Amino acid sequence: MPAVWVVVPAAGRGTRFGGELPKQYLQVGGQPLIAHTLAALFAHPAVAGAVVAVSPNDADWPGWREFAGKPVLNCIGGASRAESVLAGLNALPETVRADDFVLVHDAARPNLALSDLEQLLERGGNDPVGAILAAPVRDTLKRAGDDGGIDATEPRQRLWRAFTPQLFRRLQLSRALESAAAAGIEVTDEAMAMERLGHRPLLIEGSENNFKITTPADLARFEFVLKQRRERGTGNGG
């Protein structure tokens, strides 16, 4: 797999989490959460560097220019995830060509397994479109009515939960995000933007441990995982 860069959108305030400090900067194990995220990404030798999209006047960004021996750039993100990702794509070094693959990964998804990243890069890098990490839906799905009652049980076959990283070519993804913005459509992940243009990214099953920090319970879960990992003396195994 050729070297790839990663875009990390980190301009959100994490309003669902609560608190004044954006969740990507919360301290876990003596480091901000985003440090664990970058460490998981940079553990793979094919990941060459990262562009982190931060909010304007972000006083909490540590100002890293490198991390774990690899370059870190930053740019100003937007009001939405898609705007931040597009800003990050535009801020990539000139060495990243239009048809090169680029990763996009959530700043608050710190428990990425190296084996999952390896599989994504290997299989997605051999696909003309790209791929995303995901997991099949295993729970029974209910459709709620306006009154809070159950209207129906939905079939879960062929349904997947989308994770990150997601792997796409730089120019294709930029055009997909620009097209969605021009149409007034807010895409919730990069694959959705690609799907709008008729592309069919691969679904690559990844570990359920690649969870996103959304609530204080998620943060406590990661703290527990990190404690176990350090007691075992192992790296990021997801």
Predicted pLDDT at 237: 55
Torsion angle defined by CA atoms of residues 9, 116, 140 and 149, in that order, rounded to the nearest 10 degrees: -10
Percent of the chain having pLDDT more than 90? 90
Q: Which are the contacts of 117, defined by CB distance < 8 A and separation ≥ 6?
A: 40, 41, 43, 44, 47, 165
Q: For the segment 67-126, what is each residue's pLDDT rounded down to a tens digit?
A: 999 999 999 999 999 999 999 999 999 999 999 999 999 999 999 999 999 999 999 999
- Angle (deg, nearest 10), helices 33-42 and 216-232: 50
Residue among 86, 237, 81 nearest 174 (CA): 86
Q: pLDDT tens-digit profile of 184-197?
A: 999 999 999 999 99
Q: Are 203 and 134 in contact (CB under 8 A)?
A: yes
Q: Give residue-wise pLDDT tens across range 133-159.
A: 999 999 999 999 999 999 999 999 999
Token pair in block for residue 148: 């809070």
Dihedral class, residue 68 (left if φ above 0, else alpha if ψ from -120 to 50, else beta): left
pLDDT of residue 124: 97
